[in-house]
Structure 1
Amino acid sequence: MAKPARIRLAGTIAATVMCAAAATEVAAQTPPPADSIVLNEQLQLGDVFSHQTLNVVDAQEQVTVSTSAQGNSASGAVENGSITVQSDQDMRGDSVATTDMTLGGDTYGIVNATTQAQGNYLAVSAYDADLTVDANQSNTGALVSATSQLGEDDARLLGGAVINASAISNTVAVYGEGSTVGGSIDQSSSATVRAYNRIETQYIPAEANVSSQAIVNAVQVTSGQTSGQNLAIVQTSTGDFVEAESSANSGNAWDLAARARASANQAVLYNQGGSVVVESSQDNTAFVRAAATTTAYDYGRAEAHARGVANELSVGNNDIYVEIDNSQFNSGGVDVTATFSGTNGYDVYVGADAVGNSVTGYACSECEGYLEARNSQTNSGDVSATANTTVAGSTRAVITGANAVGNSATFYVSRPSH
């Protein structure tokens, strides 16, 4: 006999859960409904702010900082049953997270700092179950912003650093294991989305990674063994702009990297052990900007990489069948810049990638995979990629690249290891 569905739900604003339960002797004699159901409706009208200031001198061990601002959030899971999740999330205020760090003298442990700002967030998981998702997310607030800054001219980060800033207007994350996942996801946003990350230091004798990510609408669906997906996705971005910027600066750095990624609409689906059928429509009018800057007088390895994409769809299946019906329209500009400046060192890597519309689909060749794709892409916005590299003294290797593409479509059948 199958176990009853188990539901877990958490929401920052409001969450309504409806499920059958045998609460009395009479109710116990009544068979429960075949499907569990979650009805979630969330409305955020005001602004959400989170700010943190850190001022530390000569920290002997690690420094860990986390700052987050969230409008609407809900999560749920089902095991050994079936569930229908109907979710309607409406964000009408700003979501702003800010982290200011001053680390003077020697910091011996690693510095971990994460700054996140989100409008609407929905996460649903299924284990040996059937999951149906009907999700609607709307963000009409003015701003979703995550800002992180670490600044002190004499800062010595002896243990290295991992500094992240992430701003996402709408997010839907779905996971299935031994399950079928189906339904529809509709996301729309008119908010400005911005992620900014910067560090100023004197000395970093370890790895230091400074990264920023800004996404207007994001969908991620991942399924494990013997799972399948059948989804319809609609994403609309109409804000003024979406921007990600990272700046990593040090007098002497052993392994220093600045990475920035900006996307208007992004949908990533991966599956194992079943079929994947997806109908996707992405429309963007916002300006997309990504910028990464790395500077160091002396350096071992230095990297600056930026990527900007207006509309992006990736569908992969480590099994037999993939069917894609894709439609992408972009009229917003895409501007990407990666910059490095240094004097003496070893290896320099600089890359800038700008894309108007991008779709990738693949299936497993060893499974005698079959892929069927219908693709329509229209880009009327300017797409620009620029890489700037300056070495004033001497260096061992310099590897740079700048790539700009209006419409990109890649479909292939390959082995799982490839």
Structure 2
Amino acid sequence: MARLAPTRLAGTIAATALCVAAAAEASAQAQPQDRGLVLNEQLNLGDVIAGQRLNVVNVSDNVAVSNAAMGNALVGGADGRAVDVRSTQDTQGAVVADTALTLRGETGRVNSLTQARGNYLAGTAVNTGIDVDAAQTLDGAVTARSRIEETGARLIHGGYMSSDAIGNTVALGGGGTAAARGAVTGRADQTSSGEIYAETEARFTYAPAQTAFASQASANAVQATSTPNAHQDLSVRQSASGAGVTAWTGVWAGNAWDIAARSRAASNQAAFYNQGGSLVVDVDQQNEAEAQSRTELSSYDFGAAYATAEAVGNEVHAGNNDIYVSIDNAQMNTGGVTASAGFTGQNGYDAYVGANAAGNAVTGFACSDCGGDLNARNVQTNMGDVRATATTTINGWGRNVVAGSNAVGNTASFYVTRP
């Protein structure tokens, strides 16, 4: 009998261990914290260049051009199962996207999009959560250029042409249902010391349809958008220095019926939009770079002409179409900020010219119909020169001229509003 006791004990221990192991496995499978994991590390040391050259004659329908250059890119998403993203991106080489259009004769609608980005991260979560820890560093120059070179071009159906140069980009999105809510959480740390330059130029004879030209330059950009049944809790740190952030749009036309030229330069920008959950953001922005936006529009004969320029050192937008918003915002601008817009015409009807410049800007809002609860802590310091100039010249006759310019060191707006 003495020999049987150890056997029973060993069997009991083995059975108990097996049950514990099975329970642990079942428990692990049922845990809601069972999440996917993405580990990303990207380093780009070389120059990245994308070019488009079009030479066309009498294209009756559409001329569509897409041109993009990126140093580092990470794109992904999750559906039903949460994911953690841990990413480091570093671009030290130049990133250039260049588009040149030679349009001869009569051309249909022209659509040209040119984008240059140093580091890019995009992530989405549907019916689940995404947690991001992203670090982006840019030392190289980022340049986006597009132009219409043929001065005799006739844009019979109008069109749209844009150039976007952005150093670092983080774009996040989330959404869910009442049973499976979404969440966008984490942090983004962006540093840019390279020159950021966006340029759009066009010279043509005739455009009897709506035509628009735009340029946008930004050193660091974060955007998070949540659809119903989701919430956000994000921390963002942005630092911009280097040779400058410049957006330039120049358009010269002979006869344009409805024409617009726009430019926008923002060293650091962060935008958060939410619906169906809480919005909690913590933002720290530091800008030392010169932010310059310049628009020059000229049309000898014109119907409606719009020339606008916007420049800002640091910018934050946080809006929630739900109850709760919490904003902790700190902004320091030591770089100069300049916005200049001008229009010159001979004979026409309506001219609209506007220039807006700000050292630091923040806007936050919540939904009043939801019982909005908005909490904000805001610290803004501007040490740079801020200038806005609007110039309008009509050499012959016109009907309406509306012009305005606005320059401000620090501006903050917090409110509770209807959807």
1:263-278 alignment, distance < 5 Å: 263-278=266-281
Using the alignment, how far apart are the partners of 1:367 and 1:116 within structure 2? 39
1:246-395 alignment, distance < 5 Å: 246-395=249-398
Using the alignment, how far apart are the partners of 2:293 and 2:63 within structure 1? 28
* Poorly superposed stretches of 4+, deviation over 6 Å: none
Using the alignment, how far apart are the partners of 1:206 and 1:53 within structure 2? 24
Using the alignment, how far apart are the partners of 1:51 and 1:287 within structure 2? 27
Shift of 1:130: 1.6
Using the alignment, how far apart are the partners of 2:234 and 2:55 within structure 1? 48
Match of 2:148 among 138, 147, 150: 150
Using the alignment, how far apart are the partners of 1:357 and 1:337 within structure 2? 18
- Aligned residue in 1 for 2:402: 399
Using the alignment, how far apart are the partners of 2:28 and 2:291 within structure 1? 53
Kindly provide the CA deviation profile for residues 32-81 of structure 1, in whole angstroms up to 9, marking residues without a partner as x.
57111111111111010111211112112211111111110011111112
Shift of 1:389: 0.1
Using the alignment, how far apart are the partners of 1:135 and 1:187 within structure 2? 8
Using the alignment, how far apart are the partners of 1:249 and 1:207 within structure 2? 15
- Aligned residue in 1 for 2:130: 131
Secondary structure of 1:118's counterpart equals strand
- Aligned residue in 2 for 1:75: 75
**TM-score, normalised via structure 1 length:** 0.91
- Aligned residue in 2 for 1:86: 86
- Aligned residue in 2 for 1:232: 235
CA RMSD of aligned residues (A): 1.2
Using the alignment, how far apart are the partners of 2:45 and 2:28 within structure 1? 41
1:15-164 alignment, distance < 5 Å: 34-107=34-107, 109-141=108-140, 143-164=141-162
Shift of 1:87: 0.8
Amino acid at match of 1:35: R
Using the alignment, how far apart are the partners of 1:71 and 1:111 within structure 2? 28
Using the alignment, how far apart are the partners of 1:72 and 1:313 within structure 2? 25
Using the alignment, how far apart are the partners of 1:51 and 1:84 within structure 2? 35
Kindly provide the CA deviation profile for residues 346-392 of structure 1, in whole angstroms up to 9, marking residues without a partner as x.
11100000000000000000111111100000000000000000001
Using the alignment, how far apart are the partners of 1:95 and 1:31 within structure 2? 45
Using the alignment, how far apart are the partners of 2:356 and 2:46 within structure 1? 36
Secondary structure of 2:396's counterpart equals coil
Shift of 1:116: 0.7
Contact 1:186–1:234 (Cα < 8 Å) also in 2: yes
Shift of 1:145: 0.1
Shift of 1:180: 1.1
**TM-score, normalised via structure 2 length:** 0.91
Amino acid at match of 2:69: A
Using the alignment, how far apart are the partners of 2:217 and 2:325 within structure 1? 29
Using the alignment, how far apart are the partners of 1:200 and 1:153 within structure 2? 5
Shift of 1:153: 2.1
Kindly provide the CA deviation profile for residues 307-362 of structure 1, in whole angstroms up to 9, marking residues without a partner as x.
00000000000000000110000000001100000011111100000000000000
Using the alignment, how far apart are the partners of 2:382 and 2:60 within structure 1? 52
Using the alignment, how far apart are the partners of 1:411 and 1:131 within structure 2? 28
Using the alignment, how far apart are the partners of 1:202 and 1:319 within structure 2? 50
Shift of 1:181: 1.1
Secondary structure of 2:168's counterpart equals strand
Amino acid at match of 1:158: I
Using the alignment, how far apart are the partners of 1:303 and 1:351 within structure 2? 8
Amino acid at match of 1:47: D
Instruction: Structure 2: give runs of 5+ residues left out of the alignment.
Output: 1-24, 177-181
* Structure 2 residue 402 is the aligned partner of structure 1 residue 412: no
Shift of 1:29: 9.0
Contact 1:248–1:256 (Cα < 8 Å) also in 2: no
Task: Identify the structure with the greater helix proportion.
Answer: 2
Using the alignment, how far apart are the partners of 1:268 and 1:303 within structure 2? 26
The structure number with the bigger radius of gyration is: 2
* Structure 2 residue 222 is the aligned partner of structure 1 residue 219: yes
Total equivalences in the alignment? 387
Using the alignment, how far apart are the partners of 2:163 and 2:191 within structure 1? 22
Identity among equivalent positions (%) equals 50
Shift of 1:261: 0.4
Using the alignment, how far apart are the partners of 2:269 and 2:142 within structure 1? 17
Amino acid at match of 1:161: G
Amino acid at match of 2:371: E
Using the alignment, how far apart are the partners of 1:119 and 1:249 within structure 2? 31
Secondary structure of 1:393's counterpart equals strand
- Aligned residue in 2 for 1:20: none
Shift of 1:266: 0.2
